[in-house]
């Protein structure tokens, strides 16, 4: 299961909503270097290929390893699909927001961004991201763009940037 830390967030959540009831979550972030859209089952094969090709790189990214993800021995496409369905359900229920990171030219999956309730009382949200090893140069620009996006378009003033 992706992101052991995300499971801990859900268990540590208070009764308050993760986002205000009247808040409409942004569905995209577009730059000239990448595009974010909600992660879902339609991304299964490309998402699986992206992270399984970059396990060591992801585990060296700030905020990882955060438990048992990414699993060093990978996972089946079926298990990955189940994981993507769970992330899509979290998005629909407003429990957490996971975005796939796409190449704006060819639409290939190049990474992922996770926005889930923080495990501690000092933060509202924890933001984590990773990119494929062959796109390592986008790691910092992605994290910076997400930080700016969170400040401009999301309702959380206290962001845990997961080691960044």
> How does pLDDT run along the chain (164 residues), one tens digit per residue?
454 444 444 434 456 789 999 999 999 999 999 999 999 999 999 999 999 999 999 999 988 866 677 888 889 999 999 999 999 999 999 999 999 999 999 999 999 999 999 988 999 999 999 999 999 999 999 999 999 999 999 999 999 998 78
Axis-axis angle for helices 44-52, 77-93 (nearest 10): 110
pLDDT digits (tens, 9 = 90+) for 8-55: 444 344 567 899 999 999 999 999 999 999 999 999 999 999 999 999
Strand pairing category for 29-30 and 125-131: unpaired
Which residues, other chains included, contact 164 with Cβ-Cβ below 8 Å and sequence gap of 6+? 62, 63, 143, 147
Q: Which residues of 54-76 are buried (b: 16+ CB within 10 A; e: fewer)?
A: bbebbeebebbbbeebbeeeebe
Show me where the domains of the chain are located: 4-160
- CATH classification of 4-160, choosing from 3.40.1160.10, 1.20.1260.10, 3.30.2080.10, 3.40.630.30? 3.40.630.30
């Amino acid at each position: 299961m992706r992101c052991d830390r995300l499971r801990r967030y859900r268990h540590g959540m208070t009764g308050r909503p993760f986002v205000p009831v009247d808040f409409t979550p942004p569905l995209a972030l577009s730059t000239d270097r990448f595009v974010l859209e909600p992660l879902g089952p339609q991304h299964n094969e490309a998402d699986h290929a992206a992270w399984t090709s970059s396990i060591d790189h992801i585990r060296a990214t700030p905020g990882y390893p955060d438990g048992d993800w990414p699993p060093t021995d990978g996972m089946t496409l079926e298990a990955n699909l189940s994981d993507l369905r769970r992330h899509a359900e979290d998005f629909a229920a407003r429990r957490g927001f996971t975005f796939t990171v796409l190449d704006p030219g060819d639409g290939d999956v190049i990474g992922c961004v996770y926005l889930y309730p923080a495990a501690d009382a000092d933060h509202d949200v924890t933001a984590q991201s990773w990119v494929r090893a062959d796109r390592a140069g986008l790691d910092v620009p992605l994290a910076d763009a997400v930080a700016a996006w969170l400040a401009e378009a999301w309702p959380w003033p206290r962001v845990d940037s997961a080691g960044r």
